[in-house]
Amino acid sequence: MLTSRKTKAVSITVLLALGVGSTGIALLLRGYAVRDGRQGYVDSSPDRTPSQSATHHEDEFTLQVKQLRPGVSPAEVSHLLPAGSVPELGLMSVENGKVELFSTYCFESHWYCVYLRYPYDGPITDLGPKVTEPLQAVRVYRVAVPPDSYRTRVRHGGPPSTPQRDYAEDFYSVVKSGQPNDLGIENELIQVSPEAERSLVRLKSVNVIVRGPHNEVPLNVLVEALNHEESFVRDEAARIIAKIDRRARLVPILSEIEPEDAAKVRSLLQFRVQ
């Protein structure tokens, strides 16, 4: 199930889905204003210029969302999304024993796309699922502001939309599917779970050496990442394996790892290995 509604309806739906009551909604809406159809803040500091206010609120928002971690309760999640921040667009998917929430927060210089995943096997009401289990996975992306000329590259048909909505929905499709981002949407992953972040750091060090001839490539690091629960970690490992130089040395060699893992690696290499 995929739902998307206007800004305030989405905000309330998402908050209720997280088990947050009316107090939480009021807290989130405080200090919020709509300007020309886009999101903004009512700044309480008269000494700041508009540009300084925008930067201050974006910095504040970034600091808060970087505290999102697996294991955090739904109530804590609502408090980590700062008062005054309301998503431009919210999408919710409920399937395969999990709830996925994707919210887009808009600032003048960047957009922020927040992906949250919770385990869930309960009923779905008119207000959506009432999630009570701790957060299972998180990703926060800093995304370039879309041009007014942007048109969807993913959705076909349906009701009329806007460039901003198309942009957010297209990026959600990339995040959810784990497919390569070939939509031309500039983004930076600024927050993931600590375990996924460690995997990405290890992959980054491997990426430096895979193209060098006669370098030793630590295959165990790549195999571990190929079996990671997060699709974006698996995708990064696959991308790196495809770049391995045919003259590089795989350590350990393929015959020394599990046959299933060896088959995955062989399918990704750009050359034949016995």
**pLDDT tens, position by position, 58-78:** 888 888 888 898 999 988 888
Peptide bond into 218 cis (omega under 30): no
pLDDT at 180: 58
Burial of 95 (C-beta count, 10 Å sphere; 0-12/13-18/19+): exposed
pLDDT at 4: 34
Listed by start position, the domains of the chain span 2-192, 195-268
pLDDT at 233: 87
- Residues 6+ away with beta carbon under 8 Å from 133: 74, 118, 119, 120
CA atoms in the 13 A half-sphere facing the CB of 137: 21
pLDDT tens per residue across all 274 residues of the chain: 333 333 332 332 333 333 333 222 222 222 222 223 333 333 334 444 445 556 777 888 888 888 898 999 988 888 887 655 556 677 888 888 888 888 888 888 899 999 999 998 888 777 778 888 999 989 999 999 988 888 888 877 777 788 888 888 888 888 877 665 677 788 888 888 888 888 989 999 999 998 888 899 999 999 999 998 887 888 889 989 999 998 889 999 898 999 999 999 999 998 776 5
pLDDT at 130: 83
Contact 212, 205 (CB under 8 A): no
- Residues 6+ away with beta carbon under 8 Å from 111: 88, 104, 105, 142, 143, 144, 145, 146, 168
- Residues 6+ away with beta carbon under 8 Å from 28: 11, 15, 78, 81, 83, 84, 85, 86
